[in-house]
Structure 1
């Protein structure tokens, strides 16, 4: 009875893990296609301001620590795995009405795991989405990075949402 009561309060948001699996599958699939179809470092114009350019990132966001001696690979793998465990714990403890939070968490989780796979298997993250404006080039990224960014933006925006009524959930409905 107590377990059933707790389930009603928390609403088991673990059911959203399918979205993390989808993010990983799409990310790894697009990275495999980019690796198979693109030549490293050779931009393929798609539309003005956007190329597909295969690049390998041994660092983190914006190539942070890319020039380090190699220790960063396992540091980022460990960090991402620890964050993933924390995210699953957080997801597990969400309340029934916190659906938006669940979605943002699993987007971040899926993106982190997609990039962890690359680091473990290849020693670098495969990037291929390349935006630019004239001579300014945004660092190349991938679908995992996109999912992480969308999930983080959702979390940040959610922090600014205020419930209309104290009895109304802040994070929307299920």
Structure 2
């Protein structure tokens, strides 16, 4: 159970809070790992020319340029669409940062940091490459999961953390 209130505002709570250093550090580590993997695969391995690579019977490394959002939804082939999605990423990241500034719960801060790091990783891709670099492909038999990247892993882990917090850790949890 929680020992403190996660929504108590602090002075200057829009800019910096008690766990902001932690959130910033985790988000930047996630961003660096994500971008490092993408840059390595694009420019050292030259995945676009040399791939795909089968790592396991159920795991391939392939190159997919995702011009949409999660699961390839809302594909954008125009510059206007690309910049609208980039703008949405900025707005969402700012909103998540403000939420993280107000939290006093390290678990929630970690979940938000993962989402922020993932959003920044995919946002940088969209701005620099015009599309998000996806490369991890899980498949079993004829079932194929969508192709994703490490930033997506961070986002999903963060969302799972927030859901876990909401249902199992919060004082007003539906589980009680």
Q: 1:114 to 1:137 in 2, by over 3 A?
A: same
Partner in structure 2 of residue 112 of structure 1: 119
Structure 2 matches for 1:155-174, cutoff 5 A?
155-162=162-169
Q: CA deviation at 1:40?
A: 5.3
Q: CA deviation at 1:67?
A: 5.4
Partner in structure 2 of residue 62 of structure 1: 71
Given that 1:40 and 1:53 are in contact with CA atoms closer than 8 Å, whether structure 2 keeps it comes out as: no
**Alignment partner of 1:22 out of 16, 29, 48:** 29
Partner in structure 2 of residue 103 of structure 1: 110
Partner in structure 1 of residue 91 of structure 2: 82
1:31 aligns with 2:38: yes
Q: 1:83 to 1:133 in 2, by over 3 A?
A: same
Larger Rg, first or second structure (1 or 2)? 1
Partner in structure 1 of residue 6 of structure 2: none
Structure 2: which 5+ residue stretches go unaligned?
Answer: 1-9
Q: CA deviation at 1:83?
A: 0.9
**Which 10-residue stretch deviates more, 130-139 or 118-127?**
130-139
* 3-state SS in 2 of match to 1:59: coil
Structure 1: which 5+ residue stretches go unaligned?
Answer: 1-5
Partner in structure 1 of residue 18 of structure 2: 12
Query: What do the CA deviations read for 1:76-117 (whole angstroms, capped 9, x no partner)?
Result: 11111011111111111112xx11000000000000001110
Q: 1:40 to 1:126 in 2, by over 3 A?
A: farther
Q: CA deviation at 1:48?
A: 1.1
* 3-state SS in 2 of match to 1:161: helix
1:49 aligns with 2:58: yes
